[in-house]
Amino acid sequence: MAEPAAALPAEPAGPAGPERRRDPRRRQRILTAAANLVAQRGYHDVAMSDIGAAAGITGSGIYRHFTGKPAVLVAMFDRVIDDLSREAAQIVTGGGDPRTALRDLVGTQVRFVLSERTLAQVYHNEITNLPDDDRHRLRRKQRLYVEEWVHVLAIQRPDVSDAELRALVHAAIGAIQSVLFYQSGLPDERLARLMGSAAEAVLFEGATDHGFH
């Protein structure tokens, strides 16, 4: 009987190919779809499959980017706070005078609310649905963002106590965010001017020089 043929040696493995990278555009499509759906239906009435379908991703593809619905929400909110905080830090450290810095901070917040209205609405309405650790972390980021405003306002208004400064900053930001809860029917350009003026008026409430005027 013929001897069995010797087993052929296995071919050496080639160099490992590059690690497959997640497409950042696909990730952004997921976040945009999630923001729109959650704004329309509410967090609890949106499933991961709904988000995947709206983003054009079928099956388990969405889980290559996010472990679950809370992770999608966390990523959305991290981007909101990080973008605002980065712009605020650039304004505060830019070397301009406090009055100009305050106007720029107001303008940044106005632009965010008007250009990212859906995302801002979702942040306001759904942050309580985050896991506790993420919610506390994001709230801390939010407080640090507010402190950038407080620091600049304190230079411009040294006569005002810390507690009053924070109250004024929160009221000014609240005045800007009020447009999230109704439809004004105004063009964004006009609305931006009105909200900016309202926020500035709040920041300099009671000031003898009327702030920016």
pLDDT in tens, 78-130: 998 999 999 999 999 987 899 999 999 999 999 999 999 999 999 989 999 99
Supply the pLDDT for residue 23. Answer: 66
CA distance 38 to 213: 41
Closest by CA position to 29, among listed 59, 60, 62: 62
Q: Do domains 22-66 and 69-203 have the same CATH topology?
A: no
Beta strands in the chain (DSSP E): none
Q: How many helices (H) and strands (E) does the chain have?
A: 8, 0
pLDDT in tens, 127-161: 999 999 999 999 999 999 999 999 999 999 999 99
Supply the pLDDT for residue 61. Answer: 85
CA distance 104 to 117: 19
Q: How far is CA 64 from the centre of its chain?
A: 22
Running DSSP on this structure, what letter comes out for residue 182?
A: S
Running DSSP on this structure, what letter comes out for residue 160?
A: S
CA angle at residue 83 from 25 to 186, to 5 degrees? 90
CA distance 88 to 112: 12
Q: How far is CA 24 from the centre of its chain?
A: 17
Mean pLDDT of the chain: 86
Distances 87 to 4, 18, 94, 110, 112 between C-alpha atoms, Å: 73, 35, 10, 13, 11
Spelled out in words, what is the top-level CATH class assigned to the domain 22-66? mainly alpha
Asked if CATH classification 1.10.357.10 holds for the domain at 69-203, the reply, yes or no, is yes
In the chain, the percentage of residues whose pLDDT exceeds 90 is 69
Domain boundaries, the chain: 22-66, 69-203
- Encoded amino acid at 55, one letter: A
Helices (H), 43-131: 48-55, 69-92, 98-115, 117-126
